[in-house]
Structure 1
C-alpha cells in the first residue's frame, strides 16, 4: 500500500504522478483533500510549490496519481551568512 501524504511531506511530482508535470516540481504537502471523489489510485492534495531554495512560491491544489508521487528527504533550510559585528579599533569614548 502506498503511504498517505501528510502535512510537511516534501514530494517530487513528475509525469509519473500526472501528465501535467512535464516539468517536474517539488511541493510541500499541506493536506490531502479526502472530501473530493477521485478515481481509484488518484488523490487531490493541497500543497505549496517550492523553488530551488526550498521556499514556498505558490499555493496549489493538485490532482495526482498516488503511485507516481516520490517522497523526498526534507531539504536543508536555506542558510544566511551570520552578521559580523564591526571591529572597533582603539579606545571607546564614553560620555
Structure 2
C-alpha cells in the first residue's frame, strides 16, 4: 500500500506490516484514525477495530505498522444484529428495583468539625502564622 489509510478503510494487518502480527496473530482492522506523527519513515500509528469473520467489531486496537506492509481487505458482509439477544427477556426487566436504595446515614457524631491536634501543638511564628 502506497497511500496512507483513511478512516473507514478495512485493512489486513499481518507480518508484512509488523512482526508482531505474523502468522495466527494477523487481523483485519477497520481504521478509525491515523496518527499524524511519523516517528520513522513509512511507519505509522493506526487506531481501529478488529473485525471478526462475521463483520463484527471485537476489540479496539492501536497498532504501529509499516505502510508498505498494509493490504486492503475485502469488505465483510454487514454484521447481523440479533435484537432478541440485545434486550433482556421481559421476566428479567421486571426484576429491577422500583426505587433506588436509600442512602446510608452519615455515622459520624454530630458536632463541630475536628481539627488536627498537630496544627495547634506548635507555637505561632513571630509573624503570627502557625507552622
Question: TM-score if structure 2 supplies the norm length?
Answer: 0.56
Residues 76-87 of structure 1: pairs in structure 2 closer than 5 A: 76-79=77-80
Distance 1:66 1:49 in 2: 18
Distance 2:10 2:42 in 1: 19
Greater length-normalized contact order (CA 8 Å, ≥ 6 residues apart)? 1
Superposed CA offset, 1:63-92 (max 9, x none): 0000000012221113479xxxxxxxxxxx
Structure 1 runs (4+) deviating above 2 angstroms are: 78-81
Higher normalized strand content (fraction of residues): 1
Match of 1:21 in 2: 21
Match of 1:5 in 2: 5
Higher normalized helix content (fraction of residues): 2
Consecutive unaligned residues of structure 2, counting only runs of 5 or more, are 83-131
Distance 1:62 1:53 in 2: 22
Consecutive unaligned residues of structure 1, counting only runs of 5 or more, are 82-95
Greater Rg, structure 1 or structure 2?
2
Match of 2:129 in 1: none
Contact 2:6 2:31 in 1 (8 A): yes
Root-mean-square deviation over aligned CA pairs: 1.8
Question: TM-score if structure 1 supplies the norm length?
Answer: 0.75
Residues 1-95 of structure 1: pairs in structure 2 closer than 5 A: 2-22=2-22, 23-34=25-36, 36-79=37-80
